[in-house]
Amino acid sequence: MATVIVGTGTALPPAVVTNDQLAELMDTSDEWIRSRTGVGERRLAEPGVSTADLATEAGHAALVDAGLDPEDVDALIVATMTPDFYAPGSAPLVQDRMGLGTVRSYGIRQQCSGFVYGLDLADSLIGSDKADTVLVIGAEVHAGIQPWANQWRERRNGGSITPEERERNNKHRHWSVLFGDGAGAAVLRRGTDDGILAVELFTDGSYFGLIQVPAMGSSTQPFVDVATIAADEHMPQMNGPMLYRQAVRKMPEAVHAALKGAGLGVDDVDVVVAHQANARIVDGVRKRLGLDVDQVPMNLDRFGNTTAGTLPILFDELRRDGRVSPGTVVVFVAFGAGAHWGAAVYREPTG
Ligand code: ACO
């Protein structure tokens, strides 16, 4: 018996923000962003639309796709790095809005690897008979952590930014152009022999500083104050070059480890659903695995890096396009903050 994905769904906020629009806020260009990252545009949530809102919409879509009702779900897993509140996590909000009753819910914090960790947790719950139907959602609203959080909207409405705002935006331009908002969801159930065949997960806390938000935690007292906010320590700090090097090494290693666990090899793989961090990372992973361009699809040109959302959003798109059909062998793989990384081998059931 294996765990099968029986439905998927996506929620993307309607506002499209192009690289040219970002170039009005900081010293960057469409050419720089496209050539270094592959991102062409991203979706951003309007104020008042939170991670739980997008997660709820994606969760509903996945249930409809599966032909199931909220009462059928007996565990919820919400992966995000941008929860609605510092505490508690967003899972209870999603559970309440979706009408899931009082079933167990988990908020998990493996950032870009959240969905792969979520698949593993769902597989374990189903495999141990603690749940029959698990909803796994990866969702993010990064708009609010951007230094230019409101400026793109003000600019869209004809407003201008000050030289000080532009200078601050420039300080964060290497990470802030990467991210977009969105949510993806998958419904998992006990199936036949196909489904999740193997998962390998890894953590190495010695890489904690690769990308992190330094303030707003118990490591500082008070956990947030005027000085930490003035220093922008409530925003991500990223060592881009080091992150790139680790990601292109660790993701292929995880793919090989998971394939070995499944008793398969790279030649058996049809599609790799890789974390949409940036195109150079995805392409580096593809080359190391020796796969063709069409075997490692990307949608980050349209959506940017939606952190925990990238894998389920891309998988949903591939299912709808018919790129995943009965018998297709898919490998999910991600690397992200923590550092957490891992891969899951999945075969779409034929029966
Ligand atoms: N626009 C224009 N210029 C920029 C921008 C920008 N948005 N960002 C940085 N620059 C400038 C820098 O200021 C620097 O200028 P200088 O040479 O005058 O000092 C120059 O470009 C090169 O800067 P680097 O940071 O060395 O740029 P690099 O070539 O390493 O590219 C990048 C940066 C794209 C972030 C790269 O390091 C990378 O891809 N890293 C991986 C990080 C990543 O994808 N993170 C995703 C989030 S984490 C995750 O999902 C796993």
pLDDT digits (tens, 9 = 90+) for 166-194: 999 999 999 999 999 999 999 999 987 79
What is the C-alpha to C-alpha distance for residues 115 and 273, in angstroms, rounded to an integer? 11
Residue 271 φ then ψ, to 5°: -140, 135
18 token code pair: 């192009």
Residue 245's Cβ-side half-sphere holds a number of Cα atoms within 13 Å equal to 5
Q: What residues contact 315, with CB distance under 8 A and at least 6 apart?
A: 5, 8, 184, 186, 273, 324, 330, 332
- Report the alpha-carbon angle 183-147-79, nearest 5: 25
How far away, in angstroms, is 240 Cα from ligand 1 center? Answer: 6
Count helices and strands (H / E) in the chain. Answer: 13, 13
169 CB less than 6 Å from ligand 1?
A: no
Please answer whether residues 247 and 239 qualify as being in contact, where contact means their C-beta atoms are separated by less than 8 angstroms: no
For domain 195-347, which CATH number applies: 3.40.47.10, 3.40.50.2300, 3.40.50.300, 3.40.50.1220?
A: 3.40.47.10
Q: Which CATH architecture has domain 2-191?
A: 3-Layer(aba) Sandwich (3.40)
Give pLDDT, residue 291.
98
314 CB less than 6 Å from ligand 1?
A: no
Minimal-distance CA residue to ligand 1 atom 22: 174
Of 142, 140, 161, give the one whose Cα is nearest residue 54: 140
Minimal-distance CA residue to ligand 1 atom 4: 174
Give pLDDT, residue 316.
98
202 CB less than 6 Å from ligand 1?
A: no
| Local confidence band at 263 (pLDDT 50, 70, 90 cut-offs) | very high
Q: Is the dihedral of CA 265, 271, 275, 276 positive or negative?
A: positive
Give pLDDT, residue 154.
87
Over residues 333-351, mean pLDDT: 95
What is the C-alpha to C-alpha distance for residues 178 and 17, in angstroms, rounded to an integer? 12
pTM value is: 0.96
Give pLDDT, residue 1.
78
Please answer whether residues 148 and 25 qualify as being in contact, where contact means their C-beta atoms are separated by less than 8 angstroms: yes
pLDDT digits (tens, 9 = 90+) for 47-56: 999 999 999 9
Domain boundaries in the chain? 2-191, 195-347
How far away, in angstroms, is 166 Cα from ligand 1 center? Answer: 17
How far away, in angstroms, is 175 Cα from ligand 1 center? Answer: 7
| Matching fold, domains 2-191 and 195-347 | yes
How far away, in angstroms, is 32 Cα from ligand 1 center? Answer: 9
Minimal-distance CA residue to ligand 1 atom 47: 277
pLDDT digits (tens, 9 = 90+) for 209-260: 999 999 999 998 998 899 999 999 999 999 999 999 999 999 999 999 999 9
What is the C-alpha to C-alpha distance for residues 149 and 215, in angstroms, rounded to an integer? 18
